[in-house]
Amino acid sequence: MTSTPWLTVLWLLPALGAIAIAALPATVDDRRRRWARGAGLAVAVATLGWSIAMTVAFRADSGARFDLTESHRWIPAIGARYELGLDGIGLVLVLLTTALIPLLLLAWRSDDDDSSVHRYIALTLAVEAMVLLSFVATDLLLFYLVFEAMLIPMYFLIGGWGELDRAVRARAAMKFLLYNLFGGLIMLAGVIGLYVLTVRASLGEDGRGTFGLTDLTAAIADGKIDVGGPAGIAICGALLFAFAVKAPVWPVHAWLPDAAVAGTPSTGVLMMAVMDKVGTFAMLRFVVELFGDTATKFAPWMSALAVVSIVYGLILAIAQTDLMRLITYTSISHFGFIVLGVFALTPQSQAGATLYMVNHGISTAALFLVAGFLVGRRGAADAPGGNRAIDGFGGVQRAAPVLSAVFLVAGLATLSLPGLAPFVSEFLVMIGSFGRYPVAAVLATVALVGSAVYILWTYQRMMGGPVTPRAEGIGDLRARERLVLFPLIAALLILGFWPRPALDAITPAVDHTLQSVSVAPPPPTPGTTSTVVPRQGGHR
């Protein structure tokens, strides 16, 4: 246990910043609005700086399951503790989150008469705080509370700001909330069921039960808790359902397209690139690692749903006429690749899935934000469907060459062009999944080729050809917009050619995760060997 509360400070910085900024009075005074923006950006940058310092202190090769751990009594009556710990999987997602939030705050611009700037910034920081806490919480009850609590500020972000009609935003926000609350209620039943099993096994202080991940994993491995029977399968399924809704995975994805496009582009990125990662992260942390062989019973079904998500997202993206919805459906497809990697249950596939979470966050942020900057111009506002209609543009590469180039690079990243970051993670998922589920891997690969259709066709229609009257008024990227987008493009290039630092942090955590799974490894890819030795004995 570390003497410096690295992980507590990590989430408290944005949480306290959110409270302080939310307390500011509503005003249309430009000076006060700038002050609120500056304060929010300062808090986000400070959180990023703290996460970088924490990364330096983190030891991936310590041999312990978690590093920088903290543990304190929280609710003794039920054995709940305030327990935090960091592994390589959580580390890369923490860095993704803290790096994106300053860019999202910088990208967002409000109307001149908007008196609620401070509330938008406070809600964004609140989401960041809860997401960060979810990545480091090692007590299941604590994780559940922040898993649900982050829905509230996101609900207000979706419904409160955006270019769509207020009634449309309100419906999208309510749809988002109802889907995720339903998933959370199912998860709560699973959390209670697992706690009852720990009470029967007399775990925790004075036999009162426990929610601690380390204690639960050890008890399951020693056979003190049987999660292989009907009760264990039901509990595992309940948790998995909630995480699939959050991810989201087909067919519980329907809330995402409306919610992602109803708010501002920054809110859409916060949702797809940051918050939704909590769902796929939890599949690794609380399904595969905790339930082990019980989770393998769900693996074929989840892999099948992942392939459906990949193909479904591809087909719906091709059919879109709305630019922002097109990008949203590509995210559904990409989440399918992540879930396939998680449930292929091989070191390569899970390392690829974790890296995919990071790379998808970067590429989606770049593409969604540059699209947001584009549609924010008014040159195509009279087109059918408004200024988001793909057919409302044409010749943008001549009117705005830098914007067009950034759009192209971000688009090529989403189709995993070699040399850009998503290629490495997608390649790892494919080679790791092929030995376990060859049909799923082949179908996913074919769908990947098909993704070139919607990206290149969209680019051709919007950016190519002569400058149309509707595109004449489109200016190129401004200094602020370049400051937002260029770091994302740089990250796509760096991780595309040098993913080793991220993989060095991820691999030990993946090895720990797979130690609870005793399925036979698939035939090794020529020239590679598995680094995971399945655990023997126990309830398995």
Determine the length of the chain: 540
Per-residue pLDDT at 220: 86
- C-beta of residue 246 within 8 angstroms of C-beta of residue 285: no
Say what the pLDDT of residue 206 is: 73
pLDDT of 528 = 44
Instruction: DSSP letter for 383, please.
Output: S
347 cis-preceded (ω within 30 degrees of 0): no
- pLDDT the model gives residue 111: 59
Q: For residue 17, what is the DSSP state?
A: H
Q: Tell me how far apart the alpha carbons of residues 135 and 128 are, in angstroms, rounded to a whole number.
A: 11
Question: In this predicted structure, what is the pLDDT of residue 529?
Answer: 44
* Per-residue pLDDT, 474: 81
* 212 DSSP β-pair partners: 139
Rounded to whole angstroms, the maximal C-alpha distance in the chain is: 76
Give the predicted TM-score (pTM) of the model.
0.91
Residue 197 three-state SS? helix
112 in Cβ contact with 377 (< 8 Å): no
- Residue 378: its pLDDT value, please? 56
Minimal CA–CA distance to 271: which of 285, 257, 284?
A: 257
CB within 8 Å of 178: residues ≥ 6 apart: 255
What pLDDT score was predicted for residue 1?
59
Start-end of H helices in 1-139: 6-22, 30-57, 88-107, 117-136
Query: How far apart, in Å, are the Cα atoms of 220 and each of 102, 241, 475, 513, 516?
Result: 41, 21, 60, 14, 9
Contact call for residues 370 and 403 (beta carbons, < 8 A): yes
Instruction: Determine contact, residues 10/51, Cβ cutoff 8 Å.
Output: yes
pLDDT tens digits for the chain (540 residues)? Answer: 567 899 999 999 999 999 999 988 776 667 777 888 899 999 999 999 999 999 999 987 777 789 999 999 898 888 889 999 999 999 999 999 999 999 999 998 765 456 688 899 999 999 999 999 999 999 999 999 999 999 999 999 999 888 788 889 999 999 999 999 999 999 999 999 999 999 888 887 777 888 989 889 888 888 888 888 889 899 999 999 999 999 899 999 899 999 988 889 999 999 999 999 999 999 999 999 888 888 889 999 999 999 999 999 988 988 888 888 999 999 899 999 999 999 998 999 999 999 999 999 999 999 999 999 988 875 444 444 457 788 878 888 888 899 999 999 999 998 888 999 999 999 999 999 988 888 888 888 888 777 778 888 888 888 887 877 777 778 888 999 999 999 999 999 999 999 999 999 999 989 888 876 765 555 554 444 444 434 433 333
- Contact between 135 and 361 under an 8 Å Cβ cutoff? The reply is no
Q: What is the DSSP letter of 443?
A: H
pLDDT attached to residue 242:
95
Element (H, E) at 73: strand 67-75
